[in-house]
Structures are given as C-alpha cells and as structure tokens.
C-alpha cells in the first residue's frame, strides 16, 4: 500500500472539488526587491537554496512557499522536527488562497522514512507522492531537504541528485529544495559546489552584519564566472526579507552597485578648517547625528575623527556598533585630528570594524583619492560580537615603569599571551649599560609612564618592554622615554621584535635570576611619577576570550599609512650600535644625580 513506509501526512486545501492545474513556469524565491533576473525557479529544474542562518531561513522559506502557492498548485514535503511546524505555518498563510480554488498538498517525511528512502532509492518517494495526487503541474517545495540525502556516501549522493534532476526535468513546474546547514556546521556547501551538472541552480542564504546575504553560486543562464551576491534586510514589521539594493561580486568582494555607493557622511571636526570639502558631502555635528543619518545606509562612506585618546571609548563603541548593525558594504574611515592615536588603539579600531585609519600627516587631497578608490570595497575581517572581548586583546596590563625582574617577566608573558590572537606587535629592547655609569643612575633616567611600558635590569643591561610598539618606532620612543640621550647611557640597543624572541630573552632573564638573584631597585625607584594612561578608561573583560565572530572580504592594500592586523615576522634580532659616546661630563652626572631619591 502506498504511504505505508512513508508515514506521509497529507492535507488538501480546496473549495469544493475545484482545483487549478495550470502550468507554472517560474516562481520567485521569498526575497522582495531582487533584480528581475535573480531568484527565479524555473520549470524543469531542481533549484537549491542552502540556508546557513535559521531566522533568515524561516522567513525566506515561508515567503517562498507563499509565492509557490500563489502561482498554482503546490506540494510541500517537510522533514525533521520543524517539519510539522512549518506545514502548520504554511497552511495558515495559505487560507486566503483557498478562496481562489488552489490546492496544496502537504507531506511529512519522518526520520524513519528518510532512512528507508536512502536504502530503497529516492524514486520510491516520487512514486508515493504521485500516488497521493502530485501531478506534473504541481510546483514542489522541499523543506529540510538535507534529511533525504546521504552526505557521507559520495556515490549514493550522486545517484540521489541524478534522480532529482531527472524527475524535475519531467516536471512542468518548478522544484525547490531547501537545505539547512546552519553556520556551515555540516560542510554541505563544498559538496553542492562540486556537483555543477546535477545541481545547476544553487543559492546560499547567510547572515551578515545587520542583515543577510543571498549569494547566487550558479544559476541557469548566469555567467558561471560571476558569483552574484545581494545584501538583504529583515523587515521588523512583518519579518519579510527585502533586498537592500546592493549587489556584489562574491568572489572578488567588490560592490557592483549600491544606491548610496558614492555618499560620504563626515563629522564636522574631521573637516574643520579644511579647504576643498565636496559640497555633496553630508556633514554632521556628532556621532548621534551620524548614527541617525546612517539609519538606511548600505554602501556609504562614513568619515570619523579621532583626537588622540580623548573620548576613545565613545568612538570605538560607535565603530563597533555601526559595523555589527550595518551591511559590510558600509565603509568606516577614522582620521586623526589634533593628537595621534597610540598604535594599539589604532588596532582596536581596525579590530572593531573600521576599514581604514588615516594618519594626520595624510593630505586631504590624498584622503579624497582614497575614499574614491574604496567605493567598491567591502569589509571582510572578523569582528567580535562582544565589545569588551574585542578590545581586551589590545589592552596593556595596568603596570608601568620599573618592575623587579620576576614581576617584569611575568607581566611581559601575560601581555604577549593575551594579544597573540590579533598578532599585535611588541618590542623588547636590551640596552647594555656603559661601564662608567652606575646602574641605579641609568634606571632613574628612564621615565616610562604609560601602561604597558615597563623595564627592569640585570647586572649589565636594562630590559625595556614596549607594548604595541613597532620596530620602526623604537628609536623615537627611546628618545622620549629617557631624560638623557640614550647614546650617553648605553653602548647599543638590541631589539627583540617577535613574540618568540621576546619569550626567549625573558626566559633567560628568569633563569639568571633563579641562579643568582638580581638586585631589586623597586624601593629606590618609587619617585612618584604620574602614570600616563589613555584619556578613556575602558573596562576590561573578566571572562575568558571566546571567538564570537561574524564572517564578513579583504581590503586591497592602500598606499596610506595604515596599521595592519598582522605584522611582518622578523626572525632575527636587530642590533643598533649608538655613536661612540663621549666621556660622562659633569653636566651629565649632575643631571643623573638630581633624579636620585
């Protein structure tokens, strides 16, 4: 008896005995506002929508079912735990269509039947649904289609898709299979991509910052070298999916079209006193006004200002919020005005979602060129969903100045470990002390007062650790940290520019201290110097970092001074001898003695 193995549930929605068997040539996917040639499921084809985000998938599949039902007679096959719920929701949304005399057939495929079908071939399913009333004029929508395929047995998988292709080709209405692979956990996309002849129509629905993405991997009639991608937004009122108007090349990460692609929104401080600001730019007074203006922004460029570390937390939180709530086609550029940002704060902004940092030395004419060059780019780096977790890796420990050797080693290791996930560059500098100078006098000349800048000493050298300091910045930093020219204190400086070399040197210092305790000058160096911290006091996350990220495509390199999230790995130490120092004069010794306690 048909249906004995299938445990099929069938419901008929009709008015009297009237049914409509009109041929259905094309039906659209359940996304409003797509271009006219996109998302058309044609008769004779088995089209596949791979769903990688559950909320967006539910909205899209229900809307697709309504489109199918409104076009003509429809058969819905639903599987899995959500199958019954989906059928109920679909039936309720079809009530108005019953008056038109259209019919919908509902079949539920149980887990047991899915296993039997795998053993007896999918043709058994076709026979049974046809016996239950499905004709060649019925459009067919399969929800939870992943359950009816054997993804582990490649040969069987090919046979199953070949059977679906043949059955769809004999059908006079569209066939759409919805396959769930939430967050790509089961890795089904590569398998489907490898079957271009059997699965000619393949689209992927995924979440994106503040909305969704529909990627057309391939579709009948579409150039196979082009992977079209469309930005989506979810309506808060009726939970329907709409195109946001943007189209991208998924393979190249370039914007092909967006309604506001050339728009620039800038804070007033960013362009204060600047000549040649384009008249079409939108200038706003503050970040609140910026957020309001960007409410419907898709691919615009927003230009923000950063004045050193002042109000850094407000700025960084704004960047993070905008990146997670707007499409990845939105460009966020931060320009330095007034004071410069610390290197680690630059990296924080990039990590939170800024496309680009523009240093204050960059001419405005160059900035205009960069904005124009970036018009087609999209954002692709990983962004933490939790603000505190995102900034924690780029935050130094709240220590500064001289530390005893054991504490120095412990703090250096801790800061290296916490920042290793973002490849934040640090430098350890070993400074051999000139033999004619007293060790304590040299230590008193070091005025490291920013969090993360710490130093200690053994019998022969000063060890200075600079958090988030690039090797190219070491020389200028040394000039700033010492009250006396470094050439008059040290014979050279040896730079350890990678975590591996830093850990090697710190490990040796630890072993030396264990073998023969090194002098601790902590008491004598408590000079009461104020600690220079960032203007913004940011809270530090106390939970262990967890990778909560949103996958969002890589910027091409831009010839502007831009901090990178990765830094070149230098496998060797850099030794730079100072010019031959002159003999310590009375003036130098006097300067050093004045700093003694």
pLDDT at 342: 82
pLDDT at 532: 52
Q: Any alpha helices (H) in 94-218, and if so which ranges?
A: 95-98, 111-120, 123-131, 154-169, 188-193
pLDDT greater at residue 175 or residue 469: 175
pLDDT at 171: 87
Average pLDDT for 372-384: 89
pLDDT reading at 215 higher than 90: yes
Does 264-379 carry CATH code 3.40.50.2300? yes
Specify whether the CB–CB gap between 69 and 14 falls below 8 A: no
Residues 6+ apart with CB under 8 A from 198: 158, 161, 162, 164, 165
User: Lowest-confidence range among 200-214, 553-567, 578-592?
Assistant: 553-567
Average pLDDT score, the chain: 82
Q: How confident is the model at residue 527 (pLDDT cuts 50, 70, 90)?
A: low
> How much of the chain exceeds pLDDT 70, in percent?
81
Q: What three-state secondary structure class fits 298?
A: coil
Q: How confident is the model at residue 428 (pLDDT cuts 50, 70, 90)?
A: very high
pLDDT reading at 270 higher than 70: yes
Q: Which residues pair with 384 in a beta bridge?
A: 549
pLDDT at 566: 32
Average pLDDT for 98-106: 63
pLDDT at 481: 92
Q: Where in the chain is the domain with CATH 3.40.50.300?
A: 26-205
pLDDT at 485: 92
pLDDT reading at 366 higher than 60: yes
Average pLDDT for 457-462: 94
Going by C-alpha positions, the residue among 91, 29, 95, 85 that lies closest to residue 60 is: 29
* pTM, rounded to two decimals: 0.71
- Residues 220-258 have pLDDT tens digits of 877 766 689 999 998 878 789 999 999 998 876 789 999
Average pLDDT for 317-346: 92
Q: How confident is the model at residue 72 (pLDDT cuts 50, 70, 90)?
A: confident
User: Lowest-confidence range among 94-103, 144-153, 182-191, 442-451?
Assistant: 94-103
- Residues 119-138 have pLDDT tens digits of 667 888 899 899 988 998 89
pLDDT at 91: 82
Q: How confident is the model at residue 392 (pLDDT cuts 50, 70, 90)?
A: confident
Residues 6+ apart with CB under 8 A from 581: 434, 487, 488, 489, 491
CATH code for residues 26-205: 3.40.50.300
pLDDT reading at 393 higher than 90: no
Work out the number of other CB atoms within 10 angstroms of the CB of residue 418: 18
pLDDT greater at residue 534 or residue 300: 300
pLDDT reading at 332 higher than 90: yes
pLDDT at 53: 94
pLDDT reading at 294 higher than 80: yes
Q: Where in the chain is the domain with CATH 3.40.50.2300?
A: 264-379
pLDDT reading at 100 higher than 60: no
Q: How confident is the model at residue 587 (pLDDT cuts 50, 70, 90)?
A: very low
The pairing of beta strand 331-336 with beta strand 301-306: parallel
Distance of CA 87 to the CA centre of its chain: 35
pLDDT at 242: 94
Q: How confident is the model at residue 6 (pLDDT cuts 50, 70, 90)?
A: very low
pLDDT at 555: 29
Residues 6+ apart with CB under 8 A from 46: 161, 164, 165, 167, 168, 175, 177, 199, 201
Residues 6+ apart with CB under 8 A from 218: 196, 200, 201, 202, 224
Q: How confident is the model at residue 118 (pLDDT cuts 50, 70, 90)?
A: low
pLDDT reading at 329 higher than 80: yes
């Amino acid at each position: 008896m048909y249906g004995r193995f299938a445990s099929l549930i069938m419901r008929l929605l009709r008015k009297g005995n009237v049914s409509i068997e009109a041929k259905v040539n094309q039906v659209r996917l359940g996304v409003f506002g797509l271009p006219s040639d996109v998302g058309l499921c044609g008769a004779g084809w088995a089209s596949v929508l791979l769903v990688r985000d559950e909320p967006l998938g539910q909205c899209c599949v229900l809307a697709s079912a309504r489109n199918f039902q409104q076009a003509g007679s429809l058969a819905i096959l639903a599987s899995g735990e959500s199958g019954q719920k989906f059928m109920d929701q679909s039936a309720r949304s079809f009530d108005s269509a019953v008056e038109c005399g259209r019919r919908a057939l509902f079949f539920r495929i149980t887990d047991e039947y899915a296993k039997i079908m795998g053993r007896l071939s999918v043709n058994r399913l076709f026979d049974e649904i046809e016996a239950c009333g499905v004709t060649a004029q019925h459009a067919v929508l399969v929800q939870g289609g992943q359950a009816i395929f054997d993804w582990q047995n490649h040969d069987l998988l090919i046979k199953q898709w070949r059977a679906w292709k043949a059955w769809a080709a004999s059908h006079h209405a569209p066939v759409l299979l919805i396959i769930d692979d939430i967050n790509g956990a089961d890795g089904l996309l590569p398998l489907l991509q490898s079957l271009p002849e059997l699965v000619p129509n393949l689209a992927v629905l995924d979440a994106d910052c503040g909305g969704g993405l529909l990627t057309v991997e391939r579709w009948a009639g579409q150039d196979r070298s082009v992977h079209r991608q469309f930005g989506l937004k979810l309506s808060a009122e009726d939970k329907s999916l709409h195109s946001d108007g943007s189209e991208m090349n998924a393979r190249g990460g370039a914007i092909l079209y967006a309604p506001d692609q050339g728009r620039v929104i800038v804070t007033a401080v960013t362009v204060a006193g600047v000549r040649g600001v384009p008249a079409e730019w939108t200038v706003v007074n503050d970040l609140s006004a910026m957020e309001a203006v960007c409410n419907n922004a898709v691919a615009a460029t927003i230009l923000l200002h950063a004045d050193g570390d002042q109000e850094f937390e407000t700025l960084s939180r704004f960047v993070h919020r905008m990146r997670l709530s707007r499409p990845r086609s939105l460009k966020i550029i931060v320009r330095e005005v007034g004071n410069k940002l610390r290197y680690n704060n630059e990296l924080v902004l990039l990590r939170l979602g800024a496309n680009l940092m523009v240093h204050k030395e960059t001419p405005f004419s160059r900035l205009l060129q960069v904005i124009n060059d970036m018009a087609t780019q999209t954002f692709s780096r990983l962004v933490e969903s939790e603000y505190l977790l995102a900034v924690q890796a780029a935050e130094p420990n709240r220590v500064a100045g001289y530390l005893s050797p054991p504490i120095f080693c412990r703090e250096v290791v801790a800061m290296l470990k916490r920042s290793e996930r973002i490849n934040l560059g640090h430098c350890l500098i070993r400074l051999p002390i000139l033999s004619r100078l007293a060790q304590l006098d040299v230590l008193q000349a070091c005025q490291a007062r920013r969090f993360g800048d710490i130093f200690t000493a053994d019998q022969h050298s000063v060890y200075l650790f600079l958090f988030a300091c690039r090797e190219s910045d070491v020389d200028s930093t040394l000039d700033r940290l010492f009250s006396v020219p470094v050439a008059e204190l040290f014979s050279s400086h040896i730079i350890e520019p990678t975590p591996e070399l830093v850990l090697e040197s710190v490990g040796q210092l630890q072993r030396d201290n264990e073998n023969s305790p090194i002098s601790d000058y902590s008491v004598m160096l408590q000079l009461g110097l104020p600690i220079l911290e960032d203007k913004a006091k940011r809270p530090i996350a106390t939970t262990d970092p967890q990778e909560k990220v949103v996958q969002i495509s890589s910027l091409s390199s831009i010839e502007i001074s831009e901090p990178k999230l990765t830094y070149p790995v230098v496998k060797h130490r850099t030794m730079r001898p100072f010019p031959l120092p002159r003999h310590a004069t009375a003036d130098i010794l006097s300067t050093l003695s004045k700093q003694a306690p």
